[in-house]
Amino acid sequence: NAGVMQNPRHLVRRRGQEARLRCSPMKGHSHVYWYRQLPEEGLKFMVYLQKENIIDESGMPKERFSAEFPKEGPSILRIQQVVRGDSAAYFCASSSTSGKETQYFGPGTRLLVL
Amino acid sequence: AQRVTQPEKLLSVFKGAPVELKCNYSYSGSPELFWYVQYSRQRLQLLLRHISRESIKGFTADLNKGETSFHLKKPFAQEEDSAMYYCALREGSQGNLIFGKGTKLSVKP
């Protein structure tokens, strides 16, 4: 089991471009969480998804950010019209079920907006 | 509001010395608390959780509801313990975690 995979590991975008971050959960896991870590900060929850459903997006900015977890393929976090403040590390975690199960983290995607 | 506080950004100790990484929380319900560790160039991984009441790599942490703390302790630090340590609280039944800002532990030879 390769664990949670994220790609790309590093992404550079210019202001106004779109960023797409991908997360493949561990085999057998159907729950995905996205977190963002700004410099010198802890990880902050953004969104929680199950296959084809957004369960909780309370931590995600209302504009420019969206997330999906289709029936087939990875979960995608999409940031439209990026701004410099979006520069951060974005981590994905997966679990087999919600609630009491351990979350396993991916290596993160480091987004730099120029 | 739910919050996790790790007051020390950096903690430096010598090998063999005791270490305590502090974590305080505020939460209105019954908390579930965790310690995660991130070694250099590795991904974040679970170190221990309070409900397990276990010792991992010599580390222990006791939930103190009176002091709203969940400090991580190890009696004799090793150089390989050098890493970033994050305290986290699980919010509600959905499972998302609230993290502290982390403490960088440096164990010197």
Burial A8-26 (b: 16+ CB within 10 A, else e): eeebebeeeeebebbbbbb
Chain B residues touching A23 at Cβ < 8 A? none
Beta bridge partners of A79: A19, A65
Across residues A64-82, what is the average pLDDT? 96
Q: CA of B18, closest CA in chain A: separation in Å?
A: 25
Across residues B1-19, what is the average pLDDT? 94
What digits encode the pLDDT tens for the residues A8-65?
999 999 999 999 999 999 998 999 999 999 988 889 999 999 988 999 999 999 899 9
What digits encode the pLDDT tens for the residues B20-76?
999 999 987 778 899 999 999 899 999 998 877 778 899 999 889 889 999 999 999
Quickly state the pLDDT bin for B93 (edges 50, 70, 90).
low
pLDDT, position A54: 94
pLDDT, position A98: 67
Quickly state the pLDDT bin for A99 (edges 50, 70, 90).
low
Which chain B residue shows the shortest CA-CA distance from A36? B99
Q: CA of A42, closest CA in chain B: separation in Å?
A: 4
Q: Kindly determine whether residue B94 and residue A55, on different chains, have CB atoms separated by under 8 Å.
A: yes
pLDDT, position A15: 97
pLDDT, position B99: 94
Chain B contact for A5 (CB, 8 A cutoff)? no
**A82 against A51, higher pLDDT:** A82
pLDDT, position A2: 73
Calculate the alpha carbon distances from B65 to B24, B33, B71, B93, B95 in Å. Answer: 10, 11, 12, 20, 20
Across residues A75-98, what is the average pLDDT? 94
Q: Kindly determine whether residue A48 and residue B94, on different chains, have CB atoms separated by under 8 Å.
A: yes
pLDDT over threshold 80, residue A96: yes
What gap in Å lies between CA A69 and CA A54, rounded to an integer?
8
**B50 against B11, higher pLDDT:** B11
Chain B contact for A40 (CB, 8 A cutoff)? yes
Give the pairing of strands B32-38 and B45-49. Answer: antiparallel
